[in-house]
Structure 1
Amino acid sequence: MDLPHSQYLPVNKLASVFTNTSATYKFYWFLAILELVEEGNVKISKKKIFARMISNAWYTVNYFHVSFGKQDLIQDSVRAIIKIENLTINENRNRINSILENTNNIQTIKALNHFDKNVPHWFISSWFSGTRNEIYLLSQNFDYGCLYRLEKDHIEINPSWISYLKLNSKILKGFCYWNLSLFLQKRNPNVPDIPNKIYKTIARNSLIKQTNEYWKFVFNELGAIDCIFTNKKLVFDEKKYALDHFVPHAFVSHDLIWNLIPIDKKFNSFKSNRLPLIDKHFDKFYTLQKTAFEVVKSYSSKNKYLEEYLSIFPDLDDSGWDYLRFKETIQPLITIASNNGFSYMKE
């Protein structure tokens, strides 16, 4: 993916910024600048940019548990700041930005200022060679075509670049997200759907269709369903049960029917993104899934949700349900999720 061409700007210099990256800093720094320029900012405080870097990485680190690699301290800063500022995982991005831009907490300021050591000047090192001080000095002259001028506590966007950044902001963001996805996928080879864990918030799709077009048939046939976690009998009442992802949505990032089951609503709030215990919960999960499949198929063999099981059982019509194949699909997902920071439910 190439950057938009310009007859008057050294776009090749900007493109070369991302040629060699050992951390995510450059991506998040540039994304923050693009957002702030879109909002009409020209002289931008570094603290404001650092705050955006943190808020843009917030859900990727705190909710999806994507690893940035050992060298990358953005994830460490995000994890530290959520505790220091007493924030929540699902905090609104605008509120995160506001809090970080205005905080007087010494620990938070220290975490933000860490990025000032290298990121602002190394980002424009394609235009200049030299030490940190030399790059700061050379950036004062816009005749070099540099993206911005460096000051102690802020940057100033080169007027020649403002129109380019605004007109091409969507493409430039796409370029960043694409390359950031590739960068993180290499460090998380077994984690599914990395792109949607970078720029999406934790908002989920509604599961009403799965409820009314699949599980409703099961409730109608069985009358009640035992919660696999609490053993409570559940009836078709949205106030008493919730449709839950057996492997957390924050990890699989999908709503496929083979990972959804009704559970006790109160317990669902407690469970959150905790992982089930294979030895304790899988057999009940498997039995309920198999029963539900058979019930729905008896109602309508054309039910669209039945097709979603083909990703696990490609020859379902011939061989039926295979306990080991289902377990060998679920167990690695839970193991990988655990390795990426998701915690297990307690015994």
Structure 2
Amino acid sequence: MTLPDKGPVHGELLGQTLDHTTASYKIVLVKAILRHVQAGGSDFVPFDALLRSILESIWIPVARFRHTLGQTDQLSQLLDAVPEDVRLYGTFQQALPHLDLGRQTQERIFRWPLSVFLRPWFHVAGRKPPLDVKLGRTAISSAACAIYLPYDVETDGLRLDRTFKGYVASNMALLDGWADMAYINYLQRRNPNVPAISLKLREEERPGLRNQRLFWKNAMRKTSSTCLYTGTPLDPENFHLDHFVPRRFVAHDRLWNLVPVVPEINLRKGVGVPDPGLIPSVARAHLSALKAAFDASIPKMEDMREEYLDDLGITSETFADPVAFEAAMHETLQPLVNLARKRFPDWRHS
């Protein structure tokens, strides 16, 4: 992505800061600076506020969606102090009391990225950049270095150059997209087997399941249906749809991954991964519901039918072949279960 120039701010140099990143620090530093400017912050960004903003930017991907930033990444290690239930279901505000944002943590986290980020400006000026930053002992300023820098490193925080701050404010949408793209690419490299990384940077507004509920409600009215996990008969007017493979992992509401369950079980299961031995039961429930749906006028039924054809790699004839349909469901669900279990807890009804 080409970033624009404005006065002393050269887009090419700024773009170089996130080229070939091997760690997350510079990316989330940029995102924290963007968030500070977007919120109308002053020229000065205290280190404690900067660290808090950085941790907030990794909260959703790392805590909620269980992405890894790398085995040696110290930012994600800070989240290990947060209780598991808060990481899975809580908010960043609930996590804050468990996080160490003190001076020693600041010194450890900011030692390298603050100077590494500035390297393009030092290199273009033919100057050797500082190797690292020791908070309170290393100061980096445009005036002292006699070169333009987007920020100065002071004792207790960063002081943003006002021209740079104005540049960020006037190009916020572009820079936000640039930083997100770098973040997504980095996360995808670190999490190659995780689907839909781009949807997992922040909380999303989930669409409703109206049509999927109508599909299963129709099936329940035509055939007896029971909860996948308890065997309890289901009430067409009082049931929940559970994502068999957690939605946190698959990031979609495709019909073939949804099963009707009693409400209390769905609430208890949360983001747990069920026993893959239940996949044949899932397949049989779907095939029975599909046969009932073919005889009814259900909104978006043709679109939902195509989800099976496209995602399971089957043909229309497979709907008439229970063995082939179960095999297709198993080939689709089993690998997803295997991958989800590496990140989310196993769950069994007891």
Please tell me the TM-score bracket, short chain as reference. Answer: 0.7 to 0.9
CA distance in 1, matches of 2:99, 2:178: 35
Equivalent residue for 1:283, pick from 271, 280, 284: 280
Equivalent-residue separation in structure 1 for 2:138 and 2:180 (angstroms): 28
User: 2:261 aligns to what?
Assistant: 263
Give the 3-state SS of the residue equivalent to 2:261 in structure 1: strand
The answer to whether the aligner puts 1:33 opposite 2:36 as a matched pair is no
Secondary structure of the structure 2 residue equivalent to 1:177: helix
Q: Calculate the aligned-residue CA RMSD, in Å.
A: 2.5
| Aligned residues of 1:10 and 1:145 also touching (Cα < 8 A) | no
Counting aligned pairs with the same residue, the percent is: 24
Which deviates the most, 290-299 or 64-73? Answer: 64-73
Structure 1 position 300, deviation (Å) = 4.1
Deviation (angstroms), 1:263: 0.6
* Aligned residue number for residue 196 of structure 2: 193
> 2:243 matched to 1:245?
yes
Q: TM-score, normalised by structure 1?
A: 0.87
Structure 1's unaligned 5+ residue stretches are: none
The 5 Å alignment of 1:217-236 reads: 217-222=218-223, 224-236=224-236
* Deviation (angstroms), 1:46: 1.1
Counterpart pick for 1:273 among 263, 271, 277: 271
Q: Residues 2-13 of structure 1 correspond to what in structure 2 (within 5 A)?
A: 2-13=2-13
Matched, 1:331 2:331: no
SS of 2:241 mapped into structure 1: strand
2:57 equivalent to 1:63: no
TM-score normalised by L of structure 2: 0.87
Query: 1:293-317, CA deviations, whole angstroms, 9 ceiling, x for partnerless residues?
Result: 1111122495432121112344421
Separation in 2, partners of 1:268, 1:202 = 20
Deviation string 1:191-211 (CA, Å, 9 cap, x unpaired) is 11011111x316532212321
1:149 is paired with a residue whose SS is strand
| C-alpha distance in structure 2 between counterparts of 1:55 and 1:138, whole Å | 26
CA contact (8 A) 1:243 1:263 kept: yes
Contact kept in structure 2, 1:59 and 1:202, CA below 8 Å: no
Alignment of 1:1-347 (within 5 A): 1-41=1-41, 42-80=43-81, 82-83=82-83, 87-93=86-92, 95=93, 100=96, 107-109=100-102, 110-111=104-105, 113-128=107-122, 129-132=129-132, 136-141=138-143, 144-198=147-201, 200-201=202-203, 203-212=205-214, 214-222=215-223, 224-238=224-238, 241-279=239-277, 281-300=278-297, 303-320=302-319, 321=321, 322=324, 323-339=326-342, 341-346=343-348
Equivalent residue letter for 2:237? D
Cα deviation code 1:136-191 (max 9, x no counterpart):
44425285221111112211100111111001111111111111111111222221
Maintained 8 Å contact 1:192/1:252: yes
Residue type of the alignment partner of 2:148: G
* Larger mean Cα displacement after TM superposition, 7-16 or 128-137: 128-137
- Distance, in Å, in 1 between the alignment partners of 2:37 and 2:280 is 54
Greater mean deviation of Cα atoms: 52-61 or 139-148 = 139-148
Q: CA deviation at 1:8?
A: 3.6
- Distance in 1 separating the partners of 2:156 and 2:183: 27
| Structure 2 residues not aligned, in runs of 5+ | 123-128
Q: What secondary structure is seen at the aligned counterpart in 1 of 2:119? A: coil
Contact 2:309 2:316 in 1 (8 A): no
- Equivalent residues of 1:242, 1:263 under 8 A apart: yes
For 1:31 and 1:337, the matched residues in 2 are separated by 28
- CA shift at 1:49, angstroms? 1.2
